[in-house]
Structure 1
Amino acid sequence: MTQPIVRLILTFTALVALTGCNTMQAHRSPTTGPANQYDAVIVDAETGSTLGLEALADRLADTDVVVVGEYHGHHASHLLQARLQQALYARNPRQILTMEQFNLDHQDALDAYLADQTGETEMIEDAQAWDNYRGSYRPLVEFARQQQLPVVAANAPADIVRCIGRQGSAYLDTLPDQQRAMLPEQAFLDTPAYRNKFVEAISGSHGAEQTDLSGRLLNTYQAQLLRDNTMASRILTALEAHPGHQVLHTTGTFHSEQRLGTVAALEQRAQGLTISVISPVELAPFEGALPVAENRHKGDYLYFILPLPTEFRDPERQRSAMQKRFSQRPDTRCE
């Protein structure tokens, strides 16, 4: 399994503060890659032409939902999200920020902070914000708070996701009515392409068929679908509550690239919605033109970024670290 997929599915890493970088504005030639860990080269996936951030915002100004995929903890992903948020707001101040990074059962805690009823540390604790919130997502939430914009906790409750991963989709039938009502009625909509992508990412097998999903792997996939469908449902609910607004949605790129996952769930629920997907591509050392052709299927727009440093080169230390991370997860009871 590649390191980007491991980061997307298994762990969330810390990030330094997103400050002081102007390189993303510059127009670059198609043969010039990102200059540093904050830099991103934005490309129109269809034409292969590079864009500055302002030109990208111009193109997205009338789009209903703008989905910016990220590699969790990557400096360039989070800087692009924060700057695009402001650029889109300048073109349409009727904006909603929806975030995978907060679970819907913590919406009240998030709202209390946005209303200046609690402080940031209180919100981080009460909303169980991700460990890298201050370095990665603070700029997004603070801009929304300053402009009095809605911020939607879009992800499914973590304990329910964990229990689906253990017991499968039938676990939803055991929930109290109030808890079940928070989740979408159709909680496991998917597509064959997403199934195959998931199996390939988890197991490393190529060209896997739908029938390969069974047992714990099927449960894990259904937990993934619950996240995707919940995010799609929350986005649509936000648009219904705020007609004429534009949604900026931040999410791990596995949930959105190739217009799969959350994007496919959105399209199945609201076929008339205009959705633009912006996907990251980690750029290995290269010579010649940017590898647009082999990556254009990932999104309407691509942003090329440098890979994060390798976490481990010692397999034993990697296994030990992963075991430690999972042992620190809350002990959820699925009864």
Structure 2
Amino acid sequence: MKPLFASLLLTLATVTGCAAVPADNIPARPGSQYDAVVVAAKNDTPVTVEELARQLADTDIVVIGEYHGHHASHLLQARLQQALYRQNPAQILSMEQFNLDHQAAVDAYLAGTTGETEMLEDANAWDNYKASYRPLVEFARQHQLPVIAANAPADTVRCVGREGKAYLDRLPEAQRSALPQQAFLDTPEYRDKFIDAISGSHGTEQAELSGRMLNTYQAQLLRDNTMAHRMVEALRNRPGHQLVHTTGTFHSEQRLGTVAVLEQRAPELDITVISPVEWPANEADMPLAKHRHKGDYLYFIQPMPREFRDPEREREAMQARFGQRTTTNCD
């Protein structure tokens, strides 16, 4: 399943009752699954997309976390991309949703030498591309903006998930050189978050992260580090540009994952993280206080329909999705 973290992200975003923004600042609840309410986490101030773009005009990298397939996430991304462009037309679009080994296919489409269906086939695009990511790519194409296929090659990620990070040593030089030299940078907080998501055993000692779970974690780190490497590379190749990066919120919320290793690689860059938070219909107050740490800005959206009611089936599905079950040949 290509949107690997769809269920994970929805599970992690479960909201409990908590303090609301001040009464005179409370915005209207999202009216539909297309709507989003954006709030600056540092001062609890609601902002429009245009106001947000003005506040971010001088930011080097704007990371917009998403729940894969959520209408509100993708609509917000498209609106903010356009609003940021109006502030600074020197823009780069970077996407988790394309892998770096398909950069040529994306470039060919942007250049007009292939059609959309050809690009979708050649780039092995996600199944929800047309509904979720087409507006972003089309805006970039129409305005002649670069689109960075930021994620690690899927086959390489799967093989690391099977065999661990030593698999990279067996790659041909051309494939290895496209990946970051330091491909497995991480932080203890992210490791704990990953373990908690997979096994529900928060606080597991490092020694217990071994075997298949360790390999799976290293596959996750390869994604994060590759995306960070590709973003830094894109900005160094295009000085003065602003980069907008779309990614599953697990990779970016709390400034962990991709954002944490991005900060390690290029501490001079100014990075803003925008994270989604679900606001259930049965909660009167905006659930801000408990989630403020997830981003510099939060956007509140209606929950997606619940995928599972049976905890055991949910756990099995999560383990299967992270387990990298595939017929990929790693020899």
SS where residue 289 of structure 2 aligns? coil
Matched, 1:255 2:239: no
- State the alpha-carbon separation in 1 of the partners of residues 131 and 85 from structure 2: 22
Answering whether residue 202 of structure 2 is matched by residue 202 of structure 1, we say no
- TM-score, normalising length from structure 1? 0.88
Question: Which residue in 2 is equivalent to 1:124?
Answer: 120
What do the CA deviations read for 1:119-153 (whole angstroms, capped 9, x no partner)? 00000000000000000000000000000000000
Match of 2:129 among 127, 133, 136: 133
1:281 to 268, 277, 283: 277
Choose between structure 1 and 2 for higher RCO, CA contacts under 8 A separated by at least 6 residues: 2
Summarize deviations over 1:32-78 as a string: whole Å, max 9, x none: 32111000010111111111111111111100000000000000000
* CA displacement 1:305-332 (0-9 Å, x = unmatched): 1111123446798799889989997520
Over the aligned positions, Cα root-mean-square deviation in angstroms equals: 2.6
Q: Which residue of 1 aligns with 2:101?
A: 105
Partner Cα distance (1:287, 1:199) in 2: 29
1:187 alignment counterpart: 183
Are the equivalent residues in 1 in contact too, given 2:100–2:150 (CA < 8 A)?
A: yes
Match of 1:303 among 294, 299, 306: 299
> Which digits, 9 at most, give the CA deviation of each residue in 1:168-215, with x for residues without a partner?
010001111111001000000000000001001111122333333111
- 1:146 aligned partner: 142
Partner-residue secondary structure (3-state), 1:290: coil
Distance verdict in 2 for CA 1:63–1:323, change over 3 Å: closer
Q: 1:161 aligns with which of 144, 157, 179?
A: 157
Percent identity among equivalent residues? 70
1:304 aligned partner, one-letter code = F
1:69 and 1:271 map into 2 onto residues whose CA distance is 20
Query: 2: distance between equivalents of 1:9 and 1:226?
Result: 19
Judging changes above 3 Å, is the alpha-carbon distance between structure 1 residues 328 and 117 closer, same or farther for their aligned structure 2 residues? farther
Q: Secondary structure at the match of 2:290?
A: coil
- Answering whether residue 38 of structure 2 is matched by residue 42 of structure 1, we say yes
Corresponding residue of 2:290 = 294
Per-residue CA deviations over 1:201-239 (Å, capped at 9, x if unaligned) read: 111122333333111111000000000000000001100
Distance 1:315 1:46, change over 3 A: closer
User: C-alpha distance in 2, partners of 1:59/1:326?
Assistant: 37
Paired residues of 1:255 and 1:262 also in contact (CA < 8 A): yes
Q: Which amino acid aligns with 2:34?
A: Y
User: Which ranges of structure 2 fall in alignment gaps of 5 or more residues?
Assistant: 11-23
User: How big is the shift at 1:95?
Assistant: 0.1
- Are residues 165 and 330 of structure 1, via their aligned partners in 2, closer, same or farther at CA, if it must alter by over 3 Å? closer
1:31 and 1:288 in contact (8 A); partners too: no
The answer on whether the counterparts of 1:8 and 1:72 sit within 8 Å (CA) in structure 2 is no
Counterparts of 1:314 and 1:206 in 2: how far apart (Å)? 21
1:38-117 matches, within 5 Å, as 38-117=34-113
Say whether the 8 Å CA contact 1:5–1:201 is kept in structure 2: no
**TM-score, normalised on structure 2?**
0.89
Q: What secondary structure is seen at the aligned counterpart in 2 of 1:263?
A: helix
Quick one: which amino acid aligns to residue 299 of structure 1?
G
State whether structure 2 residue 218 is matched by structure 1 residue 246.
Answer: no
Could you list the structure 1 runs, at least 4 aligned residues long, displaced by more than 4 angstroms after superposition.
Answer: 312-330
Q: Confirm or deny: 8 A CA contact 2:280 2:302 kept in the other structure.
A: yes
- The number of residues matched between the two structures is 316
Distance, in Å, in 2 between the alignment partners of 1:206 and 1:272 is 32
Distance 1:289 1:168, change over 3 A: same
CA distance in 2, matches of 1:109, 1:288: 47
Displacement of 1:89 in angstroms is: 0.2
Is the contact made by 2:60 and 2:270 (CA closer than 8 Å) also made in structure 1? Answer: yes
TM-fit CA distance, 1:7: 1.9
Structure 1 match to 2:20 = none
CA distance in 2, matches of 1:277, 1:212: 31
The C-alpha deviation readout for 1:280-300, integer Å capped at 9, x for no partner, is 001223444312111011000
Paired residue for 2:328?
Answer: 332
Counterpart-to-counterpart distance in 2, 1:287 and 1:73 = 23
- Relative to structure 1, is the Cα distance of residues 121 and 327 closer, same or farther in structure 2, using a 3 angstrom cutoff? farther
Higher mean displacement: 181-190 or 280-289: 280-289
- Distance in 2 separating the partners of 1:38 and 1:319: 29
The one-letter amino acid paired with 1:139 is P
